[in-house]
């Protein structure tokens, strides 16, 4: 049975009584709200837009914002900021469940930040993200089509911009890797009796690639949710020592979230490839890899996912050694017998 400990999770401050005010967080006074970094008057919000709100954790860490927030509140605020789209499109109860706090904790946090309540704080996120249900068209409208000059920009310059976005995503992904998580994930990919992979919509192509390349190295690898059989059939096949690899990013597929929830209830070990620590997939994962998807592409940028998957599979092959070499030679022999190589 997998442990509930997640070595790739950020350590969460304890909160034994989530419905009670946090210790060491007295009511704000005007003096508490003084800031040497950004103007913050008593009774007014600490931020007027999401960009200003995103500065708050850093200002607090530097001591440039004299606002009393306990560790639990700072952690919760950081997780809200991690995934603005998720924070904008879910109600207070759903967010509280994902963040493992009570709704009243989110209300108190909002008030300590100078807002009347959580709705006012959430407004900053909603003003900055795309309207729910219009992610792809919104990405295009707010990306390449947002600026008139982009319509006359040379094609190669736009390609350069997209390449630059992807390089940034890859760099951010690499900087966030946890070496222990990488090592343990590689071992499980190589040794788990069965490895199932699941992704919907755009993430299906990533799961399919992962499935094909890992199955070149070993047996017992398959895509979950075979067409026509349904998710219940796929989840029912999972056994205690199996490994489930989930891939998904905002806007999240309901089926992928449900797969994570049901597999977690069966104590199945999960590796999640997703876009935020606040992702609903992260909550259920033993190991998680956070992959940024920012860019001008009209959907989620995928290059960083591919680099990560290829890197993990290369390391898995190294871990398997001669066993991987033998498996690849068997595959080559089959290709030659089928005369399927030109």
User: pLDDT tens digit string along 236-261?
Assistant: 888 889 999 999 987 788 888 888 88
CA distance 67 to 49: 18
Q: Beta 287-290 vs 243-247: how paired, if at all?
A: unpaired
The reported pLDDT for the residue numbered 159 is 78
The reported pLDDT for the residue numbered 186 is 95
308 and 247 Cβ atoms separated by less than 8 Å = no
Q: Which fold would CATH assign to domain 170-337?
A: Rossmann fold (3.40.50)
CA distance 308 to 172: 12
The reported pLDDT for the residue numbered 20 is 39
The reported pLDDT for the residue numbered 306 is 92
CA distance 251 to 244: 21
The reported pLDDT for the residue numbered 271 is 94
The pTM of this model reads 0.61
Q: Residue 251: is the preceding peptide bond cis (ω within 30°)?
A: yes
Residue 164 tokens, joined: 């630059």
pLDDT below 50 — which residues of the chain?
1-40, 148
The reported pLDDT for the residue numbered 10 is 45
The reported pLDDT for the residue numbered 17 is 36
Tell me the torsion sign for CA atoms 184, 187, 190, 194: negative
Say which CATH class 1-129 falls into. Answer: mainly alpha
Residue 319 tokens, joined: 């871990």
Domain boundaries, the chain: 1-129, 135-163, 170-337
The reported pLDDT for the residue numbered 142 is 58
Q: Which residues contact 280 (CB under 8 A, 6 or more apart)?
A: 86, 98, 252, 257, 260
């Amino acid at each position: 049975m997998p442990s509930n400990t997640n070595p790739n999770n950020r350590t969460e401050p304890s909160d034994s009584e989530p419905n009670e005010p946090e210790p060491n967080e007295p009511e704000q006074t005007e003096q508490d709200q003084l800031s040497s970094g950004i103007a913050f008057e008593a009774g007014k919000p600490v931020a007027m837009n999401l960009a200003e709100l995103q500065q708050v954790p850093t200002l607090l860490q530097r001591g440039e914002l004299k606002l009393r927030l306990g560790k639990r509140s700072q952690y919760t605020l950081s997780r809200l900021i991690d995934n603005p789209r998720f924070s904008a499109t879910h109600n207070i109860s759903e967010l509280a469940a994902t963040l493992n706090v009570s709704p009243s904790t989110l209300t108190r946090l909002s008030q300590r930040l100078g807002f009347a309540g959580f709705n006012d704080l959430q407004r900053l996120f909603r003003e900055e993200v795309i309207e729910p249900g219009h992610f792809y068209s919104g990405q295009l409208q707010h990306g390449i089509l947002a600026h008139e000059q982009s319509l006359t920009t040379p094609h190669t310059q736009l390609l350069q911009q997209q390449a630059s976005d992807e390089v940034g995503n890859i760099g951010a992904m690499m900087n966030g890797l946890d070496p222990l998580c990488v090592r343990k994930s590689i071992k499980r990919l190589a040794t788990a009796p069965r490895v199932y992979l699941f992704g919907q919509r755009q993430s299906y192509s990533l799961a399919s690639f992962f499935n094909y390349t890992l199955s070149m190295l070993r047996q017992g690898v398959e895509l979950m949710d075979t067409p026509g059989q349904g998710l219940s059939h796929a989840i029912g096949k999972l056994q205690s020592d199996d490994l489930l690899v989930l891939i998904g990013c905002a806007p999240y597929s309901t089926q992928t979230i449900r797969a994570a929830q049901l597999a977690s209830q069966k104590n199945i070990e999960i590796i999640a490839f997703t876009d935020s620590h606040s992702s609903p997939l992260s909550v259920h994962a033993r190991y998680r890899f956070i992959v940024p998807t920012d860019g001008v592409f009209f959907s989620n940028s995928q290059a960083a996912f591919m680099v990560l998957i290829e890197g993990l599979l290369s390391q898995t092959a190294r871990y398997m050694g001669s066993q991987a070499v033998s498996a690849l030679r068997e595959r080559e022999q089959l290709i030659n017998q089928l005369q399927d190589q030109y």
